[in-house]
Each structure stands twice: as structure tokens, then as C-alpha cells.
């Protein structure tokens, strides 16, 4: 039974962290490059709409579920016999915490600023200015989230193999 719990927690962590990685990867390779081809007003409107739409229960499951399931998996692997996996789980946890911190301190404030500036933009110049302040930094921070979450999934794969 204990093995089933340990494995279940590890699988849950891998799924939730994989959702994270996939979401950030999709934004990096498709959403933002696609929006880069749009005019400024469309860009700001689309990003504002996505920033609202993403606040949903499935995103919450990944955002909260990944670190919580990682913490649970780590606790389940504290016994000396499971320490090789614990090292990988701990590394994944650190990477996911980095993703959460970057999200909350970098990407969310940029999203909030775009919401304010996009709503207040009265003309094309206002949308262009909001986009300039948002797009470059947001994509760079998202690249870090993408890499960190993908590495976290790789760590979890290593933990499964350990």
C-alpha cells in the first residue's frame, strides 16, 4: 500500500508539473509568436482575455497541485530506501517553486499592468506602448518558467527510475 501511495503521489506530481511545462511551452512556441503577428490593439485585447480565462479550476489544479503533490511525494520518500528518488523530487520541487515565484513576481505583475494599460489605451499609440512594456519581458520570464518546469518533469522521470 505504501508503494502505491508513493507512486501515486509521484505520478500526480508529474502530471501537474507536466501541465505546467506544457502550458508555458505552448505560450513560448505558439501563442506569443502568433500574437507577435497581430496589430497592437489585437495583441493587448487577446492577452487580456487569456489572462482572465486562465484563472480557472484546471489551472489552479496545476498551479497548486504541482508543488503540493511534490511536497507529498517528498514526504512519502523520506525513508532511507527511497532517498535516491527523494533527491530528484527535491530538485523538481525547487524548480517548481522557482516557476511559482517567477509567475507571481514577474509574469502576473506584467499581466496586471497590461490589463490596466490596455483598458486605459485610448488609441493605437497607447496599445503600442502597453505592448512594448509587456511583450519582451513577459516572453523572457516565460522562457525561464518553460525551462524550469520542463527540467522539473525530467527530474520526476529520474525519480521514477531511481
Q: What is the pTM of this model?
A: 0.94
Check: CB of residue 133 under 8 Å from CB of residue 8.
no
pLDDT value at position 78? 94
93: pLDDT confidence band, cut at 50, 70 and 90?
A: very high
DSSP string of 95-106?
A: HHHHHHHHIIII
Does 1 score more than 90 pLDDT? no
pLDDT value at position 72? 96
- Going 89 to 91 to 93 to 96, the CA torsion angle's sign is negative
Average pLDDT over the chain, rounded to whole?
Answer: 96
pLDDT value at position 62? 87
- Region 31-44: what's the mean pLDDT? 98
Check: CB of residue 74 under 8 Å from CB of residue 29.
no
- Region 88-107: what's the mean pLDDT? 98
Q: Name the percent of the chain lying above pLDDT 70.
A: 100
- Region 43-54: what's the mean pLDDT? 97
- Region 131-143: what's the mean pLDDT? 98
Q: What is the pLDDT of residues 52-85, one digit of tens each?
A: 999 999 999 889 999 999 999 999 999 999 999 9
- Region 111-137: what's the mean pLDDT? 96
Q: Where are the domains of the chain?
A: 2-161
Q: Tell me how far apart the alpha carbons of residues 24 and 26 are, in angstroms, rounded to a whole number.
A: 5
Q: Name the percent of the chain lying above pLDDT 90.
A: 96
- Sorted by sequence, the CB contacts under 8 Å of residue 61 that are 6+ apart come out as 16, 19
2: pLDDT confidence band, cut at 50, 70 and 90?
A: confident
Amino acid at each position: 500500500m505504501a508503494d502505491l501511495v508513493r507512486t501515486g503521489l509521484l505520478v500526480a506530481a508529474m502530471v501537474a508539473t507536466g501541465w505546467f511545462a506544457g502550458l508555458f511551452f505552448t505560450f513560448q512556441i505558439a501563442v506569443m509568436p502568433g500574437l507577435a503577428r497581430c496589430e497592437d490593439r489585437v495583441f493587448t485585447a487577446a492577452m487580456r482575455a487569456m489572462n482572465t480565462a486562465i484563472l480557472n479550476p484546471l489551472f489552479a489544479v496545476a498551479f497548486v497541485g504541482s508543488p503540493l503533490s511534490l511536497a507529498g511525494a517528498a514526504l512519502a520518500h523520506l525513508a532511507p530506501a527511497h532517498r535516491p528518488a527523494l533527491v530528484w523530487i527535491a530538485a523538481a520541487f525547487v524548480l517548481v517553486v522557482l516557476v511559482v515565484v517567477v509567475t507571481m513576481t514577474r509574469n502576473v505583475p506584467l499581466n496586471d499592468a497590461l490589463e490596466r494599460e490596455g483598458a486605459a489605451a485610448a488609441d493605437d499609440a497607447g496599445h503600442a506602448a502597453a505592448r512594448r512594456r509587456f511583450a519582451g519581458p513577459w516572453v523572457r520570464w516565460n522562457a525561464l518558467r518553460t525551462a524550469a518546469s520542463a527540467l522539473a518533469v525530467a527530474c520526476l522521470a529520474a525519480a521514477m527510475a531511481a
